[in-house]
Structure 1
Amino acid sequence: MTATPEQAAAEDTGCGGDPADRGRLHIGRTVVRKIAEHAADQDPGSARTRRRLAGVGLGQHGATAQVSGPDDALRIRLEVALRYPAPVRGTVASMRKRVRSELERITGFRVRTVDVTVSALVPADVTPRVE
């Protein structure tokens, strides 16, 4: 049997066969943390808060995450600000589900827990101030 041009090219470049045979993939914890933060920030109930240090405005920030545990049982700790008034339990449940599904979809890691600390409630109708 003769190989098609595509199969021959794949064999010449080493791209054929099982993906696990071609090398290894390592996803750093910083990447996992950024994915969790981004997913939490995409939730409609999340809010951004002003960052201040010694009274000086340093811009805004969204959710912050900490990641621990092995790849097959990640533990995620989120600190978030939520829009007010909104049902906190429902918003946090939605955020947990979103973070878990995004991490599992993008990295293939299993998420064991997503702990959420609500650090602020931000009124939904407040316009940003110029500093």
Structure 2
Amino acid sequence: MTATAERAAAEDTGDRGDPGERGRLHISRSVLRKIAEYAADQAPGCARTRRRLAGVGLREHGAVAHVSGPDDALRVRLDVALRYPTPVCETVASMRDRVGGELRRIADRQVRTVEVTVSALVPAEAPPRVE
């Protein structure tokens, strides 16, 4: 069989060869940011807070992430709210592991650092408020 016939036979059977040889994959930084935010939000103790602008409540949000650096040494900065009285150090350590692990697992990216800023402590059982 000739090389052309072999390629045609491989295409007919659905065998496309090595995925790395078929093209390139680019994962947008916004996707990496969303993965980091989702992973941080899944950490036990992470809380959602209401976003405010000039005293007006807009909507709830969870962790906010900023991703920078090259793909093999990402730097992730997180801004999170935690439930009170969650142990801060343990929760942040768990969050760092979770974010780094998810970026490795889902996007095959190496994480160099995960900096976490705890911007709020939210009561675990917040009573409903009227705004």
| Fold match by TM threshold 0.5 | yes
With normalisation by structure 2, the TM-score equals 0.89
Is 1:92 the equivalent of 2:102?
Answer: no
Q: What's the Cα RMSD here? A: 2.0
With normalisation by structure 1, the TM-score equals 0.89
Q: Structure 1 unaligned runs (5+)? A: 2-6
Per-residue deviation, residues 19-44 of structure 1 (Å, max 9, x unmatched): 01111100000000000001000111
Q: Secondary structure in 2 aligned to 1:67?
A: strand
TM superposition shift of 1:86: 1.1
Conserved? CA contact 1:100–1:114, under 8 Å: yes
Aligned length: 126
TM superposition shift of 1:14: 7.2
Per-residue deviation, residues 44-85 of structure 1 (Å, max 9, x unmatched): 110011111011110111100000000000000000000100
Q: Map of 1:1-131 to 2, 5 A cutoff?
A: 10-12=10-12, 15-131=15-131
Partners of 2:87 and 2:13 in 1: CA distance:
55
Q: Structure 2 unaligned runs (5+)? A: 2-6
Question: Once the two structures are aligned, what percentage of the paired residues are identical?
Answer: 75
Tell me which amino acid in the other structure corresponds to 1:38: Y
